[in-house]
A and B are shown apart, each in its own frame.
Chain A
Amino acid sequence: MSAIRQHLIDPEICIRCNTCEETCPIDAITHDSENYVVDVEICKACLDCITPCPTGAIDNWRIVHKPYTLEEQFSWEELPEELGIDEDEVEDTVQEASEDEANAILEVAHTGESGKVIPPFSAAHPYINIYNRERPLIARVAGNYRITDDDVESDIHHIVLDFDSKTFPVLEGQSIGIIPPGVDEKGKPHLMRLYSIASPRDGERPGHNNASLTVKRVVYEESGETQHGVASNYVCDLKKDDEVKVTGPFGATFLMPNHATANIIMVCTGTGAAPFRAMTEYRRRHMYKASGKLKLYFGARTPGELPYFGPLKKLNSEFIEKQLVFSRLPDQPKEYVQDRMRNNADSLAELLHSKETYVFICGLKDMELGVDEAFSDICKDNDMDWDEIKQMMRTSGRYHVETY
């Protein structure tokens, strides 16, 4: 049987000054005429209440199998004895700092990069971890639009979040966390999910303190049951003016180079397009005449399932080379991004020769391997050593992978 470490207040030492209740960012502390108590259902052990307590009564913990209820705590004249349960039985819970939660997700997403990763030398300096699970930013939904065709299964939404006057500086390529409300069937708060920002640093609307996300509604079959992803369904169902708990920003390496001579090769599928929409839009707004090339490989099953298909098509091909690749067109053989890349071998090889070229890959895990093989083949045909080039690109902050 697993145990938890329960936060309790020593009623013999507490002077009921209300400081802890006032300090708690999530209202986990309450009181009656006798005792101040901590609600185990709410407390996340952020420890914000510990230092302000003038008495030290707040810093008490008991390892329990069954947590003490509020009623039990109200009735206490003194703390119960330790139960003698072993520390080892305490299960790790989501109560760890939310930065760790985000880190763990990003670590998995960046496994394709292997080794130490550094951002492009000209990347803007990122701010990270401004808001966490204990102290999230409350954003307001400014808009929520389905951006895949109505008749296709894939339900992808473009969500605009407004941060009002709160400080929330984000860069293209960074992610933010969304905390779905409520708890899972075990009574634990839902895990945070990370979503890439789909808008540039100066906002979805230029000069506005807002940002957009690209989120696909996750629906899958498991043991004959249809399952709905908690976070993605929560986000896709958000209504205008709903409030959303946001954490972050997160991510300090998957960032766009800011110098005008940088070539950016972007490879993505599905919602992996989000960071590239952001980067492209930044270049469009602020560096339209940049000499560096933009090259986008974007895969989907059909045009109706390709997010932002309409706006993308309107972009001038002088400004960005768009390679939109579809794997389920009627009467056409299946084509994947790596196939198209092989078809463009010459131009890609030329770009790979340049120290000004930056590669960003974002999408499903399966795609990453295919893209890597394509690069390898292209190099082989051009008497280049992909492993060597990739290594060099990595160490100079020019090769970035984010997959899920």
Chain B
Amino acid sequence: MTEQTSNDAIVEVNYDELIPNNVDLASDARLKKALESWQPKYLDWWNEAGPDHTQNYEVYLRTAVGVDPKGWAKFGHVKMPEYRWGILLAPKEEGRTIPFGKHKGEPAWQEVPGEYRALLRRLIVVQGDTEPASVEQQRYLSKTAPSLYDMRNLFQVNVEEGRHLWAMVYLLVKYFGRDGREEAEGLLERRSADEDKPRILGAFNEETPDWLSFFMFTYFTDRDGKMQLESLAQSGFDPLSRSCRFMLTEEAHHMFVGETGVGRVIQRTCDAMNEANITDPYEIEAVRALGVIDLPTLQKKVNFHTSVTRDLFGAEVSTNAANSFNAGIKGRFAETKIDDDHQLLNDTYTVTRVADGKFVEEDVPALSAINARLLDDYIKDCQGGINRWNKTISKAGIDFEITQPHKAFNRKIGEFESVYVTIDGEIVSEDEWNSKKEEWLCSDADGDYIQSLMEPCTEVGKYAGWIAEPRIGINNQTGEFEYVKIN
């Protein structure tokens, strides 16, 4: 049989255009012009603030050439500035209706409703700001990559964060006129950790100083990104929903890098301990003498990254979140799979709060507890990978378990911002907390130790001593595959 044609389910990317897209950019001259003038600025940003001195590296990257299962994962060596960042939306669902809030059941909006313009723009800008921010946070990491495989994974994360920025900029420029164009410029002007023009969210101004932090970041913080995208994918504003749905497919790679990255660190530590007949995980100096990262330090990293990321969910009880939900702009995690009326006007949700120096469980209107619920879902979602890590440890015969700290530990935003709470959930005085802080969070010395391990390993098929080899290669490549050609 001879020919296939495109249909709604298979939307082809127009690669002849400067900006690959499946949104029929060619027919919207104004939008096309706006994006074409933004693109050189984006490249300038990439070269200035993206992966440092990597312009000539040829990286084995996955590029989306379509949004159908067979088209979105094409692998090949690419120089990153030549990566085809484009605008790809999940296929339109005919007859889609708004799944929640007061507009539930009405046809999904194809244009921005005037009354929610400011709200929507803000949400898109905040989401968009995190994408380039994480690229900036990670810009020096390739210098200390533990292998070419890991370097490639870092770059894949980076280019996809870049594409997610494109996705948000498309929405701003297409639907928000002049304001949108200005916001799009602003996304390229702010810089992570810059005193004068920092990125919007706190956690995105923290540096990613080492590879363990990178893996923790991709596991815990990108998972926040996944939860946020999932909630936005429910949106009544259809273009936002479709953008986020396709971004989620890519986000899965970031989860993978984090979960397997931490998992491989744990594997290597356990293997080294067994080889040296060390059974007590708290013999920290002895374990470190093996050139691997001891498990208690890994736990401290978990404590840090979980607590910082939990702050990203915002105040647990929030009028803003209630408004967004009620307006049909941002739903809950897996909204369509939740069995309730999706309007929440008469429902309550139990939130942990602090009253008279104690934790209390309080039923609050479910609408205002949208963030609390998303945070609870996030904490549950984090546990899966932690269970896998613990299996590795128990298989190695070592008595140690990685756990998530109490929800209130080390929080700077929300219900627990004014209390000092231990990892076990005990409210203590500020002094006591500070005196024990280094039992829970990495000290400078811990950081220095981790930093001391960050020696690059760029030999094909080889891995730094503190991390195990992956179980399978990217796209089923063998161990000797040259994932990055450093020219």
| Chain A residues in the interface with B (C-beta under 8 A) | 12-13, 15-19, 22-23, 33-34, 48-49, 51-52, 54-56, 59, 77, 99, 103, 125, 127-131, 135, 164-167, 169, 250, 252
Contacts and interface: CB of A to CB of B under 8 A. Distances in A.
B73 A34 contact: no
A56 B472 contact: yes
Interface of B: 1-9, 69-70, 72-73, 94, 248-249, 251-253, 255-256, 259-260, 384-385, 387-388, 391, 471-473, 476
Nearest to B5: A127
A252 B7 contact: no
Contacts of A252: 1-2
Contacts of B252: 15, 17-19, 52, 54
A13 B264 CA distance: 11
A12 B3 CA distance: 41
A391 to B, nearest CB: 24
A51 B249 CA distance: 11
A51 B472 contact: no
Given A54-B252, A166-B8, A15 B260 contact: yes
Contacts of A59: 476
Which residue, A16, A23, A77, A166, has most C-beta atoms of chain B within 10 A?
Answer: A16
A17 B94 contact: no
Contacts of B473: 56
B196 to A, nearest CB: 37
A56 B478 CA distance: 13
Contacts of A12: 388, 471
B118 to A, nearest CB: 31
Given A54-B256, A55-B256, A23 B2 contact: no
Nearest to B7: A167
A169 to B, nearest CB: 8
Given A22-B249, A54-B256, A130 B4 contact: yes
A145 to B, nearest CB: 28
Contact of B72 (A16, A51, A131, A169): A51
A51 B70 contact: yes
A23 B248 CA distance: 11
A55 B388 CA distance: 15
A124 B17 CA distance: 30
A77 B253 contact: no
B1 A167 contact: no
Contacts, number: 81
A56 B471 CA distance: 10
A23 B256 contact: no
B255 A127 contact: no
B253 A51 contact: no
A127 B388 CA distance: 49
9 contacts: A17-B256, A23-B69, A51-B69, A51-B72, A52-B252, A54-B252, A56-B472, A125-B3, A166-B8
A13 B471 CA distance: 8
Contacts of B8: 166-167
Contacts of A135: 9
Contacts of A48: 69-70
A344 B252 CA distance: 71
Given A16-B384, A34-B384, A130-B5, 8 more contacts: A17-B256, A22-B248, A51-B72, A52-B73, A52-B252, A59-B476, A128-B4, A167-B8
A128 B472 CA distance: 38
Nearest to A11: B388
Given A54-B253, A128-B2, A15 B72 contact: no
B195 to A, nearest CB: 36
Given A17-B256, A51-B69, A129 B387 contact: no
A51 B73 contact: yes
A77 B473 CA distance: 21
A56 B475 CA distance: 7
A127 B2 CA distance: 9
A17 B385 CA distance: 10
A179 to B, nearest CB: 16
Contacts of A22: 248-249
B32 to A, nearest CB: 25
Nearest to A49: B69
A15 B472 contact: no
Contacts of B255: 15, 17, 54
Which residue, B1, B72, B391, has most C-beta atoms of chain A within 10 A?
Answer: B1
Nearest to B334: A18
Contacts of A18: 252
Given A15-B259, A166-B8, A52 B69 contact: yes
A141 B94 CA distance: 18
B336 to A, nearest CB: 12
B246 to A, nearest CB: 11
Nearest to A169: B5
B256 A130 contact: no
A166 B391 contact: no
B389 to A, nearest CB: 12
Contact of B260 (A55, A77, A99): A55
Contacts of A164: 94
Contacts of B69: 23, 48-49, 51-52
A103 B251 CA distance: 39
Contacts of B94: 164-165
